[in-house]
Structure 1
Amino acid sequence: MPREPVASSSLKGIPRGVWALGFVSLFMDVSSEMIHALLPVYLVVGLGASMVAVGFIEGIAEATAMIVRIFSGALSDWLGKRKLLAAIGYGMAAFAKPIFPLATGLGWIVAARFIDRIGKGVRGAPRDALVADLTPPAIRGAAFGLRQSLDTVGAFVGPLLAIALMALTASNFIAVFWIAVIPAFIAFFLIVFAVREPPRPETAGSERPTVSLATAKRLPAMFWVVVAIGSVLTLSRFSEAFLILRAQQLGLAIALVPVILVVMNVVYAVTAYPAGVWSDRFGRRGMLLAGVAALLAADIVLALSTNVAAALAGTALWGLHMGLTQGLLAALIADATPADLRGTAFGIFAFASGLTLLAASVIAGALWDAFGPQATFVAGAGFTALAMIGIALVPMKAQTPDAAG
């Protein structure tokens, strides 16, 4: 997939709106992860919830976000207003945050998580489509890589802040939850005041896209190829919870369990932007293959690990895979999709990925229970090898004629 030369792939060349969206993601992730890192323990210890209740809350929250994504993306195409929906989504998440420290029972926590995840579902696809709308095609990989990198910084800063604040406040959950409200509202104000939406592209014409079979048929074959590749990679990857379980099984102390996600997200954050730049300069396929190779190596290392150090090495490779592929997959969606259907495309991709992640985690858990952890990661390696073969063999066009927008 040859790419046009990149004259402005440095950080200074990234549009200001993309920077703003990256910091919106960073602050919201800091807020969310500060709460989510502590919430399961708070539910059980502070509110006396059962493990079944914890599973129910998390399950319904993630399922809600997954379902909403596909409709919010299509709605952003129909309205021609990405920022409005993204701001509504971030606003819902921000205004849900104070419910956590104010909650006096399990019902309030369920409501807060429900609102928060609806907000995540509403904002995801319109935000990604907005990044594509704001960015010239020649630096699209860099733009998505930067946003993903900033988002992932929040994913490891949040838990670290939660740990530090719990130590400083003598394990005062409520105080930490109140502090987490602050970055959520910073994110909301940033998207409202620091992001400007470009004009609706003329290619959209007078007919507005709708959620229909006819609209889906307008999405090119290359889009569905990317969806298929992303789905197989998700089957290979399953939930990061299995990384934590593997490290714990190999002897990692429970108090140090957050280190696993910190290691993964640090590597993820450091590599996401350079991976995007390299994909702009040298092509998407090669970078995607490198990312898949990193996942294959991670699965093999985690399957063969006999100590915590090896599990940490496998986790770092997992983070490398995420950094090399996640922003790149978003750039591929933007490359392949007509400008007026980007919201729909990102919504479908997120929906397919969510369904596949659910299936992958169930399969991984079943293999773990039946045959042990090695079987889970060996199966992941098998799916990864299939994805690698598919990426190497399937033709990939750089973009459709009207995808540049």
Structure 2
Amino acid sequence: MTTSETNSGIRLGLRANLAQFSLLVAVNALVGGMLGQERTVLPLLAEDVFHLSTATLGLTYILAFGATKAVTNFFAGTWSDRFGRKPVLIAGWLIALPVPAMLAWGPSWGWIIAANILLGINQGLTWSTTVIMKIDLVGPERRGLAMGFNEAAGYVAVAATAMATGAIAEHAGLRPAPFLLGAAYAVLALGLSTFAVRETRDHARFEAVRHRAPAGGDRDGQLTTGQVARLTSFRDKALSAASQAGMVNNLNDALAWGIFPLLFAAHGLSIAQIGILAALYPAVWGAGQMLTGWWSDHIGRKHLITTGMLLQAAAIGLVAAGTTFGVWATAQILLGIGTALVYPTLLAVIGDVAHPAWRARAVGVYRLWRDGGFAVGALLAGVLADAYGLTPAIWAIAALTAASGLLVAVRMYETHPRN
């Protein structure tokens, strides 16, 4: 793989930075595990332990998580440029330490909301920073592959932890045992981030000297944070199309996280069965990204994103139409494939277009929009479910997802340098 070198010894490329890259993959798996501890158990806690009577109230933890993570993403990009990547990563893990205990022993729903605010900060700081650090290390040639590995590690860990906590809850109850995994993850990740991870900001500075932007990109890198926000959100067709698609993608994830388990439980599935379904989607999504990120490096980004959004829409429609474990399992697999096509490819689009001098801020803005989808999805799905029922709410999100895919097809230009 392509590498470059200066007198300082900085080299770009996956092979040249394999040890640090692999370490960051492991750290991001622990980031995903922190999220996975909630996927099966928390929707059931809302109903069975705290006796919340409406879907909107039950989804407040996703709303709190998504809003906090979205805003934190923005600052993570800015702070990683100002202070360095590693301090931001360590700060994110320090904030995570009390979260498992609050989930396991919190005496009221307010404690669960507070834990998810802290979890949102943790995820915004740590996941954003591991993304930025991997982009720094690999250079322009293998961004799709790098994002595939990053997101695969995170979401395979989400799936594995969702399945594990479901199995633990089936035998030991909804609290506290399932959340002890999260406590172990936080301690291990803090140790790795403090003592083993190295700073990568100089890699981005080295790449900036040799940067060649694609059509629509900025070449001199001299943009304010406000200009980066406007360019990523509205002005650049590829960046803005990626931002809206990312938001809708995570809106879908909020639906899968908060509404799907309620639908499955309403049809009589056991906690263990719900745990399997909750794990299938992120497992396929996570593992598939190792292929789709690499694939986007060879055939381009736009068509994979369009196809993935439309496949997600079809899968969500199948969940709404289904009534059995087999149908829902098929839908979860299709939803995972569609999301795998989209997730690392959207991040690669940001890396393609953004100048290295403002790329971390562009990633932060994109992730602000993308993870804002958690909050929008929780609110929209909850309101629709309370007003019309679970199934109509799911159909509405399916239609919105299809519209997002069509918008990508119309607005986005191809960003990969080879294409």
Q: TM-score range by the shorter chain?
A: 0.7 to 0.9
* Paired AA for residue 185 in structure 2: P
Match for residue 301 of structure 2 among 279, 284, 308? 284
Q: After the TM superposition, which of the residue ranges 53-62 and 14-23 deviates more from structure 2?
A: 53-62
Q: Unpaired segments of 5 or more residues in structure 2?
A: 4-12, 210-218
Residue 302 and residue 182 in structure 1: after superposition, are their counterparts in 2 closer, same or farther (change >3 A)? closer
Q: After the TM superposition, which of the residue ranges 191-200 and 258-267 deviates more from structure 2?
A: 191-200
Residue 366 and residue 54 in structure 1: after superposition, are their counterparts in 2 closer, same or farther (change >3 A)? closer
* Paired AA for residue 191 in structure 2: F
Q: After the TM superposition, which of the residue ranges 309-318 and 194-203 deviates more from structure 2?
A: 194-203
Residue 140 and residue 163 in structure 1: after superposition, are their counterparts in 2 closer, same or farther (change >3 A)? same
Q: After the TM superposition, which of the residue ranges 94-103 and 186-195 deviates more from structure 2?
A: 94-103
What displacement does 1:58 show? 4.9
Contact 2:67 2:374 in 1 (8 A): no
* Paired AA for residue 393 in structure 1: V
Residue number in structure 2 paired with 1:403: none
How far apart in 1 are the matches of 2:374 and 2:361? 20
Contact 1:236 1:382 in 2 (8 A): no
Asked if 1:392 corresponds to 2:417, the answer is: no
What displacement does 1:143 show? 0.8
Residue 311 and residue 108 in structure 1: after superposition, are their counterparts in 2 closer, same or farther (change >3 A)? closer
Match for residue 326 of structure 2 among 304, 309, 318? 309
Residue number in structure 2 paired with 1:191: 193
Residue number in structure 2 paired with 1:231: 247
How far apart in 2 are the matches of 1:74 and 1:244? 36
Asked if 1:77 corresponds to 2:90, the answer is: no
Asked if 1:349 corresponds to 2:351, the answer is: no
Residue number in structure 2 paired with 1:33: 36
Asked if 1:148 corresponds to 2:151, the answer is: yes
How far apart in 2 are the matches of 1:11 and 1:180? 30
What displacement does 1:243 show? 2.6
What displacement does 1:218 show? 6.0
What displacement does 1:245 show? 3.3
Asked if 1:181 corresponds to 2:183, the answer is: yes
What displacement does 1:31 show? 4.3
Residue number in structure 1 paired with 2:9: none
* Paired AA for residue 126 in structure 2: R
Residue number in structure 1 paired with 2:128: 125
What displacement does 1:383 show? 2.7
Residue number in structure 2 paired with 1:136: 139
Contact 2:63 2:376 in 1 (8 A): no
* Paired AA for residue 293 in structure 2: G
Residue 84 and residue 161 in structure 1: after superposition, are their counterparts in 2 closer, same or farther (change >3 A)? same
How far apart in 1 are the matches of 2:245 and 2:102? 39
What displacement does 1:283 show? 1.3
Deviations 1:235-282 (A, max 9, x none): 666521333334334443355222221111221122111011111111
Asked if 1:376 corresponds to 2:378, the answer is: no
How far apart in 1 are the matches of 2:109 and 2:380? 30
What displacement does 1:289 show? 2.8
Residue number in structure 1 paired with 2:96: 93
How far apart in 1 are the matches of 2:306 and 2:34? 33
Contact 2:60 2:113 in 1 (8 A): no
Match for residue 260 of structure 1 among 267, 277, 284? 277
Contact 2:104 2:177 in 1 (8 A): yes
How far apart in 2 are the matches of 1:392 and 1:331? 17
Residue number in structure 1 paired with 2:7: none
SS of 2:415's partner is: coil
SS of 1:187's partner is: helix
Deviations 1:384-403 (A, max 9, x none): 33333333333524269xxx
Deviations 1:2-31 (A, max 9, x none): xx999xxx9968733332222112123334
What displacement does 1:150 show? 1.0
* Paired AA for residue 182 in structure 1: A
How far apart in 2 are the matches of 1:293 and 1:106? 36
Asked if 1:65 corresponds to 2:69, the answer is: yes
Q: Unpaired segments of 5 or more residues in structure 1?
A: 401-405
**What does residue range 154-173 of structure 1 map to in structure 2 within 5 Å?**
154-166=157-169, 170-171=172-173, 173=175
What displacement does 1:155 show? 0.7
Contact 2:249 2:401 in 1 (8 A): yes
How far apart in 2 are the matches of 1:194 and 1:41? 37
Residue 171 and residue 143 in structure 1: after superposition, are their counterparts in 2 closer, same or farther (change >3 A)? same
Q: After the TM superposition, which of the residue ranges 59-68 and 366-375 deviates more from structure 2?
A: 366-375
Residue 88 and residue 238 in structure 1: after superposition, are their counterparts in 2 closer, same or farther (change >3 A)? closer
How far apart in 2 are the matches of 1:247 and 1:175? 23
Residue number in structure 1 paired with 2:8: none
How far apart in 2 are the matches of 1:49 and 1:251? 18
How far apart in 1 are the matches of 2:95 and 2:31? 11
* Paired AA for residue 229 in structure 2: A
How far apart in 2 are the matches of 1:127 and 1:39? 26
RMSD between superposed Cα atoms in Å: 3.7
Deviations 1:53-107 (A, max 9, x none): 865555434422222221222222233x122212211232135445555767777
Q: After the TM superposition, which of the residue ranges 272-281 and 351-360 deviates more from structure 2?
A: 351-360
Residue number in structure 1 paired with 2:229: 216
What displacement does 1:346 show? 1.9
How far apart in 2 are the matches of 1:245 and 1:252? 10
Identity level (%): 22
Residue 102 and residue 226 in structure 1: after superposition, are their counterparts in 2 closer, same or farther (change >3 A)? closer
Give the TM-score normalised by structure 1: 0.80
* Paired AA for residue 23 in structure 1: A
How far apart in 1 are the matches of 2:340 and 2:373? 20
Contact 1:264 1:316 in 2 (8 A): yes
SS of 2:369's partner is: helix
Deviations 1:346-369 (A, max 9, x none): 222222223344334433444445
How far apart in 1 are the matches of 2:351 and 2:380? 31
Contact 1:49 1:106 in 2 (8 A): no
Q: After the TM superposition, which of the residue ranges 308-317 and 178-187 deviates more from structure 2?
A: 178-187
